[in-house]
Structure 1
């Protein structure tokens, strides 16, 4: 499981880095085109917007997998360790359900609804743009399952199974 997580981490951080580099290049080009060369570059602004959608969702999935997301631990820490474990498990199941229903299932429906539509300046299919939602949902589900399995293995080691 740890190897899978490492591969996912590297894939997501590399993809997010490439998207960020592209956004910077397009932004610099847009400024140069507008203010130095006095020409318009309508496709770059739209491209940056769509790259930002992919960047934001892939980075959110990576942050989720790295356990660097916002968590409210104040309430959970007031309970016994056994209750805390139960709360974690219930939370993990809820995360999987929400990611599966809202991000994956809902995202696929949005992709199917918008796949025939194209962006005005670039001609990119909006289905490709919105595909970031189910893709990041799948990554979040995988990270949650890995986390649950890792917790289970650690529990068994502590108990001596």
Structure 2
């Protein structure tokens, strides 16, 4: 499981860095074309918006895996042992519920709906369903990390030492 987690971490890190690099390039070109050339590029404007969605959501999945996401853990910090593990497990179940229902199920519904209606982006001409794929993909990543962390918490809860 550790090797699979490392592979997912590396893949998400590589994707996030690559998308961020292209995003910066789009924004720099947008600024140059607007202020230096006097003719703003509509393609890079739209591409930057779509890449920002992807980098934000994939970055959220990556941050979840590294346990670097935003959390309100005042209660959990005060707990120890099995109570702490139980509290963390409940949080993981809530996150998994959100990721599965809203991000994966709802995201797949959105992707299917936009692909079936043939909605395309104005400047790039991309089917919008492909743009919205970032929702279910990042949701699956978050679910993966929730399962890994929940299994770890269950080991803690079932071990006699804790």
Query: Which residue of structure 2 lines up, in the alignment, with residue 6 of structure 1?
Result: 6
- Kindly tell me: are residues 93 and 37 of structure 1, through their superposed partners in 2, closer, same or farther at Cα, counting changes over 3 Å? same
Secondary structure class of the residue paired with 1:90: helix
Query: Which residue of structure 1 lines up, in the alignment, with residue 55 of structure 2?
Result: 55
Distance in 2, matches of 1:143 and 1:96, equals: 9
Encode CA deviations 1:117-143: one digit per residue, 9 max, x unaligned: 001111111101111000000000001
Q: CA deviation at 1:112?
A: 1.0
Query: Which residue of structure 2 lines up, in the alignment, with residue 137 of structure 1?
Result: 139
Distance in 1, matches of 2:72 and 2:31, equals: 41
Query: In terms of mean alpha carbon deviation, does 79-88 or 124-133 score higher?
Result: 79-88
Distance in 2, matches of 1:149 and 1:31, equals: 47
- Kindly tell me: are residues 154 and 85 of structure 1, through their superposed partners in 2, closer, same or farther at Cα, counting changes over 3 Å? closer
Query: Which residue of structure 1 lines up, in the alignment, with residue 151 of structure 2?
Result: 149
Query: Which residue of structure 1 lines up, in the alignment, with residue 41 of structure 2?
Result: 41
Query: Which residue of structure 2 lines up, in the alignment, with residue 113 of structure 1?
Result: 113
Q: CA deviation at 1:79?
A: 4.2
Encode CA deviations 1:19-50: one digit per residue, 9 max, x unaligned: 11101111122222222233331111000000
Encode CA deviations 1:98-122: one digit per residue, 9 max, x unaligned: 2111100000011111122001111
Unaligned runs of 5+ in 2: none
Distance in 1, matches of 2:155 and 2:122, equals: 51
Distance in 2, matches of 1:147 and 1:79, equals: 18
